[in-house]
């Protein structure tokens, strides 16, 4: 008996605009390595990047008709998901769109892998190394202008160091240079669309109206492009969308907690659960929190750094989706696992086949005891099998003796 990993056939990759090259390219390579044909639907916001990927496949001599790039408006995407030739769908995007993809796939039904973003938290313990924690959190919150599914979107800091942490965080954010993303000296560029900027504004303005305090930023920048100032806030009310919905912008809400238990409870009650980070110098504390946080990945004194690790799977829990991409688990998502059993004993009959008799019942009962009973009872079960008439006639005892690993 052995396993086969068969290709699925045609897989559909529906990829987002925030990393329009890296995300589809890695998934496409995984699909091809597993022997599949790929239909890539890039985001309507970044169609030319999708075209470039198709061009690179042609230049790499990928056989014709193995990679197809199709451009669809979001409202037309169900036609791709529901197409009878598509065996599986991989979608990266918002929770709302992910639900629609899943509903379309259910008509098949056909399997889906969903990566629906996150509201990734960072927990800063009282013993955290702020020389690392502050710049690390700011980078993971502001990189790509915060337009990253695993960006730090909320910081839970212990009250014992909250004032010092907040002061250093604000100073770090103020140092960020906003400008042309093609300029090597730029730290933070614009948002991708005006719609995205309005979403960030709405989250911040709602939180401020509910009592939050803006420590730095908190406004759009009037210049060509969809710029929003790097922002940090505190005193954000628990019911604000800024703490529950993915903002996808250069915004850091800071929540002060009296205990780390409080932070863990708030994180685990979130509808999203992609990644999280813990910042502490206590390794035992780091491991303990890693076990208790219900998310797809936890990093201690780092955040979401496993994207570039070839052995690491990527994916979340709850409304952040299910299934995995990347690593061995990602490869397994691209195949159908088939069990193959072979039997070449001419004329041999399995002992549980017809006709039934009391000997069959005794054989099955003693087989179960020989496999799963306490060790002291297994020898008697084996002896009983040797005396069983059906076992003597149909069990290949020489074959059994050749494989001692099956005895216990």
Structural tokens at position 312: 């690491």
Q: Reply yes or no on whether the pLDDT at 398 is more than 80.
A: no
113-122 pLDDT per residue, tens: 999 989 999 9
- List the single range of 143-157, 185-199, 355-369 with lowest mean pLDDT: 355-369
CA–CA distances in Å: residue 173 to residues 160, 227, 232? 22, 15, 8
Question: For all residues of the chain together, what is the average pLDDT?
Answer: 95
Per-residue pLDDT tens digits for 303-329: 999 988 889 999 999 999 999 999 999
Annotated catalytic, 115?
Answer: yes
pLDDT of residue 122: 98
State the catalytic residue, choosing from 57, 115, 154, 333. 115
pTM for the structure as a whole: 0.91
Contact 41, 71 (CB under 8 A): yes
**Is the pLDDT score of 407 beyond 60?**
no
Q: How confident is the model at residue 348 (pLDDT cuts 50, 70, 90)?
A: confident
User: In this model, does residue 408 exceed pLDDT 70?
Assistant: no
pLDDT band with cut points at 50, 70 and 90 for residue 346: confident
Q: Does domain 2-116+328-338 have CATH number 3.40.605.10?
A: yes
Query: What does the pLDDT average to over 240-267?
Result: 97
The answer to whether residue 305 is catalytic is: no
CATH 3.40.309.10 maps onto the chain at 120-309
**230 against 390, higher pLDDT:** 230
Q: Which CATH number applies to 120-309?
A: 3.40.309.10
Is pLDDT of 254 > 90? yes
Which tens digit of pLDDT belongs to each residue from 162-217?
Answer: 999 999 999 999 999 999 999 999 999 999 999 999 999 999 999 999 999 999 99
Q: What is the Cα–Cα distance from 269 to 156, expressed in whole angstroms?
A: 14
Mean pLDDT over residues 224-230, rounded?
97
Listed residue (377, 352, 295) closest to 123, CA to CA: 295
Q: Give the pLDDT of residue 74.
A: 86
In the prediction, which pLDDT does 406 show? Answer: 58
Outline which parts of the chain fall under CATH 3.40.605.10: 2-116+328-338
pLDDT digits (tens, 9 = 90+) for 363-377: 999 989 988 999 899
Rounded Cα distance, 273 and 308, in Å: 20
Query: Given 57, 149, 246, 333, which residue is catalytic?
Result: 149
Least confident residue range of 140-154, 288-302, 331-345: 331-345
Band of the pLDDT at 158, cuts 50, 70, 90? very high
Rounded Cα gap, residues 128 and 147, in angstroms: 26
Say which residue, 403 or 151, is predicted with more confidence.
Answer: 151
The per-residue pLDDT for 405 is: 63
Residue 323 in contact with residue 333, Cβ under 8 Å? yes
């Amino acid at each position: 008996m052995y396993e086969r990993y068969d290709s699925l056939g045609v897989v559909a990759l529906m990829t987002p605009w925030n990393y329009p090259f890296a995300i589809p390219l890695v998934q496409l390579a995984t699909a091809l390595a597993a022997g599949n044909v790929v239909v890539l639907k890039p985001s309507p916001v970044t169609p030319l990047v999708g075209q470039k990927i198709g061009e690179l496949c042609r230049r790499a001599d990928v056989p014709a008709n193995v990679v197809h790039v199709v451009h669809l408006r979001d409202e037309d995407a169900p036609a791709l998901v529901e197409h009878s030739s598509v065996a599986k769908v991989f979608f990266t995007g918002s929770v709302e769109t992910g639900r629609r993809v899943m509903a379309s796939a259910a008509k098949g039904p056909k399997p889906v892998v969903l990566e629906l973003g996150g509201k990734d938290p960072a927990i800063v313990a009282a013993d955290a190394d702020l020389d690392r924690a502050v710049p690390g959190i700011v980078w993971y919150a502001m990189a790509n202008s915060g337009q990253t599914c695993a960006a730090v979107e909320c910081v839970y800091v212990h009250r014992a160091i909250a004032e010092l942490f907040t002061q250093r965080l604000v100073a770090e954010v103020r140092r960020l240079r906003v400008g042309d993303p093609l300029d090597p000296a730029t730290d933070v560029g614009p948002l991708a669309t005006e719609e995205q900027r309005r979403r960030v504004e709405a989250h911040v303005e709602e939180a401020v109206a509910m009592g939050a305090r803006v420590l730095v930023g908190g406004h759009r920048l009037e210049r060509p492009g969809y710029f929003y100032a790097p922002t940090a806030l505190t005193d954000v009310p628990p019911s604000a969308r800024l703490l529950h919905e993915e903002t996808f912008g250069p915004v850091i809400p800071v929540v002060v907690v009296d205990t780390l238990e409080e932070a863990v409870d708030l994180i685990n009650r979130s509808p999203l659960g992609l990644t999280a980070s813990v910042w502490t110098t206590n390794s035992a504390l780091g491991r303990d929190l890693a076990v208790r946080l219900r998310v797809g990945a936890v990093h201690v004194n780092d955040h979401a750094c496993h994207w570039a690790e070839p052995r690491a799977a990527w994916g979340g829990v709850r409304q952040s989706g299910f299934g995995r991409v990347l690593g061995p688990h990602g490869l397994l998502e691209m195949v159908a696992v088939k069990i193959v059993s072979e039997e070449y004993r001419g004329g041999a009959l399995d002992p549980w086949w017809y006709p039934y008799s009391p000997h069959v019942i005794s054989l099955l009962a003693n087989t179960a005891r020989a496999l799963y009973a306490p060790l002291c009872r297994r020898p008697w079960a084996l002896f009983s099998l040797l005396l069983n008439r059906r076992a003597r006639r149909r069990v290949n005892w020489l074959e059994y003796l050749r494989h001692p690993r099956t005895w216990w």
